[in-house]
Amino acid sequence: MSRFLIRLLPLALSAWVACLHAQVPVQTAGALVVVPAYGEVRQPNDEARATLMIEEQDKDKTAAASRVNQKMRQGTEIVRKEDPQAVLKTRGYYTYPVYSDEPQPRQGSRPPQIIAWRVGQYLDVVTPNLEALPRTVASAQRVLALNSLRFGLTEATTRKIDEQRIAVAYRNLTDRIAAIAKAMGRSPADAVMDTVDFEASGAYAQEAHASKAMRAAPMAMQESVEVQEPSFEPGETTLGLRVVAKVRFK
């Protein structure tokens, strides 16, 4: 073997190895790609949902019910006066006996002794007037007790935000399609959407109705007692939307 061939052999071997490792172009024509995307919008809360309640206990069931009826009527009038925009709904009127804790004798079939009656009722308040909310609650607390409070978005704001989150989610989808096309060595113009599926992400589950509140312990209140206004921070609600598209490349 000549010296020329000996020198050429390593070069030929290197070229042959390079050919083995060379990537074969992947054909993407007609490829169907599933592309997930997500859009999220945050909005300050503009609605409050408060639950006020009253509970009385007395040996006389009629006396307990009478006080509950009177205080609920007074509390309702106070809320209406302080916040004419509020939507009110009474619910959950209950009456049940309170039994003695003393141990009963083993012999005999005497039922447990009723020592009192507990009567109560709830008042739901929905209002967009967050500025007056502390004053409204403080005034109502002279008669009723605040059982729960949560903030959310009005229906009008929710509809407005729904349009925004659809736009944000779709924009994220087109950006991801463009990025995928670039990674595949294709032009975004070659991508054709076959299917677009919008579905709720579940990020605003905090807007669903809260579970039934537990009954609070009875509290003795006097209408003449001034209650200091509480401090509330409405916060914000995050609404998200998930979209999945099937994209076919030409």
Q: What does pTM read for this prediction?
A: 0.66
- List all residues 6 or more positions away from 64 whose beta carbon is below 8 Å from its beta carbon: 56, 57, 58, 95, 116, 117, 118, 119
- Checking if the pLDDT of 75 tops 50, the result is yes
Summarised one tens digit per residue, pLDDT across range 123-145 is 999 999 999 999 999 999 999 99
> Is 151 strand, coil or helix?
strand
- Checking if the pLDDT of 167 tops 60, the result is yes
Q: Which domains does the chain have, with CATH numbers?
A: 28-46+153-208+236-250 (3.30.110), 47-100+111-152 (3.30.70.2970)
Summarised one tens digit per residue, pLDDT across range 35-46 is 889 989 999 999
